Amino acid sequence: MDLQPIPDMNETDSVPPIFEPLCAVFRRRLKADGQKYTPERARVLDAVIRMDGPFEAEQLVEDLRASGYRVSKATIYRTIKLMQDAGIVQRVLGGDDVPRYQMIYGAKPDDTIVRVDTDEVISIDIPELIELRDKICAKYGLSPSSHRFQIFATGNDA
Amino acid sequence: MDLQPIPDMNETDSVPPIFEPLCAVFRRRLKADGQKYTPERARVLDAVIRMDGPFEAEQLVEDLRASGYRVSKATIYRTIKLMQDAGIVQRVLGGDDVPRYQMIYGAKPDDTIVRVDTDEVISIDIPELIELRDKICAKYGLSPSSHRFQIFATGNDA
DNA sequence: CTTGGTGCAAACATTTTGCAGCACA
DNA sequence: TGTGCTGCAAAATGTTTGCACCAAG
């Protein structure tokens, strides 16, 4: 089958160390469900990490094919779903309302004001929100990995 | 053409008064763009208001057809887009990752913890968040109409 | 008559599924 | 041999567009 080397989190330097545990998380989850950590899945995970932000499934296909791998859309979508189950990837809506995917771990929290009258999106930085978030999660015995806070607002004159 | 009576925000009692200004907002926006407030569009707006929560385009079609109106999907989608432009409707992702639409004005704030390991969605009630939200908006000179706060978390053992 | 709106059907984009063959225990 | 995984192609879903005709100024 003439495969290229399998990317491995411990052997690549193109991926920040913060993502290192991801491979393990994914592996563990697959094993727990009687599924396999295949070369194809390792490559998709690697591509997802390199995306570094919201991406479309098609981009993963292009990325991997450009790297010389033969991959089908079906495998991409199936692997994305597995990653969602493993809590590694989430689906999000871009500002253009197009559904995309993005990594959860290490993802920058998305705190924005969406001006519904002008469609302007304002990024905000709210340290108190992190505190609040962590407090809430602690109450439920959960560990937050990321969050999203969107305020929908208009100008006072509208 | 045998039309049934046109729903009008001032003549129906099935729609809470809080939504009354919406009709005006939509009308104003259409007029400003040289477009028309047609019976079809009034009916779609009415249906959207009655949805009272996230909905799919198809539901609007069914709802209106069940009420005896002849309506095409094209008109539904075109009207939804107009409403998005008018800042009345937004696209959102449900807990099941399915894209839906929902009203913006008067929408119930959506504060949830999404357990990425189990897909469980926990509704939370955080009064401090409203305060925080209003404080932030005040700083920018904006009026909040709704918000959405999603925390992505896993169990501590995951 | 000109501009915008409608329904219908076809086109499109994205995601899912059925299936035959492969990999590996 | 059995279970899971893959690519491919077809199907299913959700949305947009082209077009002929209608409606209102």
Q: Are B135 and B93 in contact (CB under 8 A)?
A: no
Average pLDDT of chain B, as a whole number = 80
Query: Which amino acid is residue A11, in one-letter code?
Result: E
Query: In which region does residue A47 sit, left (phi positive, over 0), alpha (psi from -120 to 50) or beta (all else)?
Result: alpha
Q: What is the pLDDT of residues B102-138, one digit of tens each?
A: 887 666 667 888 776 666 778 888 888 888 999 999 9
Option in A90, A129, A152 nearest B152 (CB) = A90
The answer to whether the CB atoms of A132 and B132 lie below 8 A apart is: yes
Going from the C-alpha of B101 to that of each of A93, A144, B59, the distances in angstroms are 12, 27, 11
Option in A93, A142, A156 nearest B99 (CB) = A93
Query: Which amino acid is residue B36, in one-letter code?
Result: K
The Å distance, CA of B72 to C1' of D19, is: 15
- Rounded to a whole number, what is the distance in angstroms from the first to the last CA of chain A? 63
Four-point Cα dihedral B73, B79, B84, B86, nearest 10: 180
A111's CB contacts (< 8 A; 6+ apart) are A123, A124, A125, A126, A129, A148, A149, A150
The parts of chain A modelled with pLDDT lower than 50 are: 1-13
The whole model's pTM is what? Answer: 0.71
Would you tell me which residues 112-151 of chain A have a C-beta closer than 8 angstroms to some C-beta of chain B? 113-117, 119, 122, 124, 126, 128-129, 132-133, 136-137, 140-151
pLDDT at B74 over 90: yes
**Which domains, and CATH codes, for chain B?**
1-107 (1.10.10.10), 108-158 (3.30.1490.190)
Would you tell me which residues 8-27 of chain B have a C-beta closer than 8 angstroms to some C-beta of chain A? none
